Every structure is written in structure tokens, then in C-alpha cells.
Amino acid sequence: MAYNKTEKEVIELLNPIINDKNIILWDIEFKKEGPSYVLRIYLDKEGGIGINDCEEVSRALSAILDETDPIPQAYMLEVSSAGLDRAIKYDFHFEACGGKNVDVKLFAAIDGMKEFTARLISKTGETINFEKDGSELSLPENKISSIRLTVEF
């Protein structure tokens, strides 16, 4: 996965805000949804992100975005926690979530499976390694539609 130009520009503006607060940028999305554009910021930190953290980051980022105006079209800004079922897309996600159970969706079925739950072992190059039912399963990244942390109660 790679960030688009707008996402990269926003990350540069966002980093000074969150670094001072020991907050981690988990993900960012800038995309068109229906007739509108949405800029979504997903955050995390040790002990979890609270509503006050999201509000504080949203206010600070909104002020900087209004001042620098890097996004020419109108958009909605959303700042939230990465969530319990957070998406795992980037290399640092795989490092942070190694050993945890994940829900995996494939673009096309492999051995009759299109969706499964497994323990995430690692990502090596373009291959993602899982443990499923006591066996190691290695899949090319381009065969995987999504990986999300499993919500366990």
C-alpha cells in the first residue's frame, strides 16, 4: 500500500501534532465517497485513543489545514481511533500485530477458502505468513483483499 499525494501532504502536517502527544498515525485515507471527499485519520497510542485525543488532534489539524490549504476541494475531516478490528496494511502494522489473530479475506478462494481467521506470524517481502490450524500458511500479498485484527471478547 502507498499513500497518495494528498495523504502524504497531510501526514507532514499531522506528524508534529501527534508526535508531541505520543500518538501513532495508524492510517489515513483521502477518497471520494458519493459526491463528497472524506479525509479520515486513524490514530493509536499506548493505552488506547480516547475521544479527547481525537478532538484535540482534529482541532489542531483542522486549523493547520485551513491555514495551509493543501486540499483544493471541499472535504469532511474525520479523526478516530484505529479501532479493535483495525486494518493491517503497512509494514509497521505487521510488526505491531505479529502473533495476534486476524481475519483474512482473499480476492479469490484458495483451497476452498475465501475468508479465514489465523494467527499473523510475519510479512516477508511480498509474502504474508500465518498459522492456521497448527500449520503455517504463506500467501502472496496480492492475493489478499484485507487483513483486520480479530475482535476477541
Hey, what's the cell of 10?
Answer: 497531510
Domain with CATH 2.30.30.180 in the chain: 91-149
Write down the pLDDT at residue 1.
60
Architecture in CATH for domain 5-81: 2-Layer Sandwich (3.30)
**Cα separations (Å) of 76 from 31, 39, 50, 73?**
10, 6, 20, 10
The reply to whether CATH 2.30.30.180 applies to domain 91-149 is yes
Ramachandran area for residue 22 (φ above 0: left; ψ -120 to 50: alpha; else beta): left
pLDDT: which is higher, 37 or 20: 37
61-105 pLDDT tens trace: 999 999 999 999 999 999 999 999 999 999 999 999 999 999 999
Banded pLDDT at 119 (limits 50, 70, 90): very high
Domain with CATH 3.30.300.70 in the chain: 5-81
